[in-house]
C-alpha cells in the first residue's frame, strides 16, 4: 500500500522528537500542528537564532562536568550514550546501526589504524562519514538535505570520475571528481537546490566547488588537518564505538 507524503515522513521526524534536537536544521518540523510538537518547535526556533545557528561546534573539544557526581550513574550514562549515537546517526541522514558496526570492524581489523594515536583514531572514523558521496553533495549545497542527496544519486544524476554512481554510501578518494550529469533536467534540479540553500555552514576546505560547471573535487589529504562542520556539540566520550 502506498503512503502519502505525511505518513512517509512521520517515523523519521519522530526520531528528532525523541532526542529533543533538530540535528539537521529541518524547517518542515515547524509545519506540524499536533500538540506534542509545540514544545519542540519552540525550542528549535530558539536554536535558529543568529548567535546559535551560525556558530560551528568543535566535535573534539573535551567536556568536563562542573560536579564530579553529575551524570555518572549507570542509567544516565546509558541514556546519554544512546542519545549521542542516535544524534550522530541522524546528523548523517539516519544511518543504520549495522553500518556503524561494519565500519568499526573494518577499522579495528586494519593495522594502519591500530598503530594510530587515540585522537587520530576518532578522526579516521569521522573521515568515513565525511567522505560519503551523499554527505559531500549536501556539504557542497548541491542538495537541501542528505536524504535529498541520496535521491539525486539513486536516480543517476551524479557522476564520479565520469561514471554514474548510484550508491549514496560510496567512499570518495583524494582528487575524485564529482559532477552533475549533462542532462538538462539534472542540472536544473541541482541549480534549484543551490538557489534555495542558505550556504551555511560554509562548505569545508577539503572540497573545491565550481558552481558554474556544477563540479566538485575531493581534495582531502590525510596529512592535512581534518575538521568536519558540526552544528551541534558531539560528545565523543558517550559514544563507545568511537573509543
Same domain, 14 and 49: yes
Contacts of 103 (CB under 8 A, 6+ apart): 125, 128
Same domain, 116 and 189: no
Same domain, 167 and 47: no
Query: Is residue 184 over pLDDT 90?
Result: yes
Looking at the domain assignment, is residue 4 inside a domain? no
Q: Name the grid cell of 151.
A: 535521491
Confidence at 61, pLDDT banded by 50, 70, 90: low
Query: Which residue is associated with the grid cell 548523517?
Result: 92
pLDDT tens, position by position, 23-55:
777 777 788 888 888 888 887 777 666 545 555
Host domain of residue 207: 132-218
Number of residues in the chain: 243
Looking at the domain assignment, is residue 1 inside a domain? no
Give the pLDDT score at 37: 85
What's the total number of domains in the chain? 3
Return d(Cα 194, Cα 173) in angstroms, integer: 24
Same domain, 210 and 241: no
- Dmax over Cα atoms in the chain, in whole Å? 60
Give the pLDDT score at 33: 83
Q: How far is the CA of 174 from the CAs of 82, 125, 131, 157, 167, in angstroms?
A: 33, 17, 10, 21, 18
Please check whether residue 54 is in contact with residue 200, taking contact to mean a CB–CB distance below 8 angstroms. Answer: yes
pTM of the model: 0.69
163-164 sheet: strands from edge to edge: 163-164, 158-160, 176-180, 215-218, 207-210
Same domain, 184 and 120: no
pLDDT tens, position by position, 139-180:
999 998 898 999 999 999 999 999 999 999 999 998 999 999
Amino acid at each position: 500500500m502506498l503512503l502519502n507524503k505525511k505518513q512517509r515522513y512521520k517515523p523519521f521526524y519522530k526520531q528528532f522528537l525523541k532526542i529533543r534536537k533538530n540535528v539537521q536544521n529541518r524547517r518542515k518540523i515547524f509545519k506540524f500542528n499536533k500538540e506534542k510538537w509545540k514544545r519542540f518547535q519552540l525550542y528549535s526556533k530558539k536554536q535558529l537564532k543568529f548567535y546559535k545557528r551560525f556558530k560551528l561546534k568543535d566535535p573534539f573539544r573535551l567536556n568536563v562536568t562542573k560536579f564530579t557526581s553529575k551524570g555518572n550513574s549507570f542509567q544516565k550514562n546509558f541514556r546519554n550514550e544512546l542519545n549521542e549515537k542516535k544524534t550522530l546517526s541522524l546528523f548523517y541522514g539516519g544511518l543504520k546501526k549495522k553500518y556503524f558496526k561494519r565500519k568499526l570492524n573494518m577499522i579495528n581489523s586494519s593495522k594502519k589504524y591500530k598503530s594510530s594515536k587515540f585522537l587520530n583514531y576518532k578522526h579516521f572514523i569521522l573521515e568515513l562519514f565525511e567522505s560519503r558521496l551523499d554527505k559531500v553533495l549536501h556539504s557542497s549545497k548541491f542538495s537541501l538535505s542528505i536524504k535529498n542527496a541520496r535521491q539525486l544519486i539513486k536516480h543517476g544524476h551524479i557522476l564520479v570520475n565520469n561514471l554514474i554512481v548510484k550508491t549514496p554510501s560510496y567512499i570518495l578518494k583524494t582528487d575524485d571528481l564529482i559532477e552533475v550529469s549533462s542532462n538538462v533536467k539534472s542540472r536544473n534540479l541541482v541549480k534549484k537546490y543551490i538557489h534555495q540553500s542558505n550556504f551555511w555552514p560554509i562548505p569545508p576546505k577539503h572540497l573545491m566547488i565550481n558552481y558554474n560547471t556544477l563540479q566538485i573535487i575531493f581534495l582531502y589529504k590525510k596529512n592535512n588537518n581534518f575538521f568536519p562542520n558540526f552544528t551541534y556539540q558531539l560528545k565523543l566520550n558517550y559514544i563507545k564505538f568511537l573509543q
